Amino acid sequence: MDHYKLVIRGEHALSGETFVSGGKNTSVAVIPAALLCSDVCVIENLPDIEDVRVLKRILAHLGAKVEFDAEHNRMTIDPRGVTTCSVPFQYSQQMRASYYLMGALLGRCGEAEVGYPGGCDIGSRPIDQHIKGFSMLGVQIDEYSGMMNLKGELRGSIINFDVVTVGGTINVMLAAVKARGNTILMNAAREPHVVDLANFLNSMGANIKGAGTDTIRIRGVEKLHGGSYTVIPDQIETGTLMIAAAATRGDVAIHGAIPTHMDALTAKLLEMGVSVTSMDDVIWVRVKRGHRAIRLSTQEYPGFPTDLQQPMSALLTRANGHSEVHENIYDNRFKHLDEMRRMGAKVTISGRTAYIEGVPQLRGAPVIATDLRGGAALVIAGLMADGVTEIYNPAFIARGYEHLEQKLSALGAQVRREDAE
């Protein structure tokens, strides 16, 4: 249990302007990718979140010189001092995205030893497609005592993923940029952070075409140089702020966003009766009446993102009517709704589907965050609820949201940290 809790007094409409931080999902891929470079990389717009700090510690363990200027959201990575390609379990178990070190170290060293990844408990998240891709590149893989040992001379190949896999697409891309010959990734993920990673690698001298489509073509290169790169804004933080504004029936302008990345969420909010407009990098969310119930189904990009299912399903607990939420990506992503039952939510869960009957009011209650996006959903529930909500284990939220409580407070929310008893 964390040493602090979040305390929220609900029923305060959010109003004003806020700014989106750099993308968490991009950052945890770009930082390992810097290991592939032969000179210093400067990465701008990195969020000051725990996953970024964990990666900083891992790269330092490997021998890289890493400086993180949290005030200016800038990390400088000099990989020239890397002396080992082994990531101990005590590091890898701290975050799911530690598996990207497999692809990055294979590309740099031709070998990698990485502990099984940790992260949030949201169900089965196998890495079989990562292993399949590495094997097709000529990598021999051995597993023992919670560690994976990968070694081989990387050779280009045609890889057809059995299912769309964001992590697998990124991991195999990291290895393939330094492989001999050409690699084609078929049935590849199209998420914005896949595109952003490809843009980063190309800016350092890689030859990647087709990122953002389901077929990515990679011509291997011998060397990547250093340079400077700015990561894209966080798609999921943008969506969380949009949902929070809608949940409190507020009026919020979100700056620094990429509106086209939010099309799937915007469509569902409009369906609920929420006003969503955008211009350039600003999204305005306004609510003047109650929300309509909807049906929601998570899909790979450009469909509705699984990472926004939990915040969105929290919003639906107050919608007028019966909503259905189908979770098609992960098999254990409704734990937050179990917690929200303590707050008066009416929810029935059957397999990967949640049936939600909207209620006029939620009541503040003590709840426990069990994962990153589920924690954000509980924050949204607390913002809607009558009375005081106490969220325990809020460190999950800090893993992926930069200063979320400060941003919400600046918009009029009553949220603060207190020592956990």
Active site residues per annotation: 120
Cα–Cα distance measured from residue 79 to residue 85, given in angstroms and rounded to the nearest whole number: 12
Following DSSP, what letter does each residue of 75-118 receive, concatenated? Answer: EEEEGGG----EE-HHHHTT-GGGGHHHHHHHHHHSEEEEEPP-
For Cα atoms 346, 351, 353, give the angle at the middle one, nearest 5 degrees: 55
Q: What are phi and psi of 410, to 5 degrees?
A: -65, -20
For Cα atoms 420, 368, 297, give the angle at the middle one, nearest 5 degrees: 150
For Cα atoms 292, 296, 297, give the angle at the middle one, nearest 5 degrees: 175
- Among 92, 79, 97, 82, which Cα is nearest to 34's? 79
Tokens 């700015």 belong to: 230
Residues 224 and 335 sit within 8 Å (Cβ to Cβ): no
Q: What are phi and psi of 367, to 5 degrees?
A: -135, 165
Task: State CA 74 to chain mean position distance.
Answer: 19
Element (H, E) at 356: strand 353-357
Residue 77 bridge partners (DSSP):
41, 66
Cα–Cα distance measured from residue 173 to residue 138, given in angstroms and rounded to the nearest whole number: 14
Cα–Cα distance measured from residue 372 to residue 271, given in angstroms and rounded to the nearest whole number: 26
Residue 226: strand, helix, or coil: coil
For Cα atoms 365, 370, 373, give the angle at the middle one, nearest 5 degrees: 95
What's the token pair of residue 400?
A: 């992926």
Q: What are the CA-CA distances from residue 302 to residues 103, 114, 131, 235, 339 (Å)?
A: 25, 31, 25, 12, 29
Element (H, E) at 229: strand 227-230
Strands 65-69 and 74-78, by their bridges, are: antiparallel
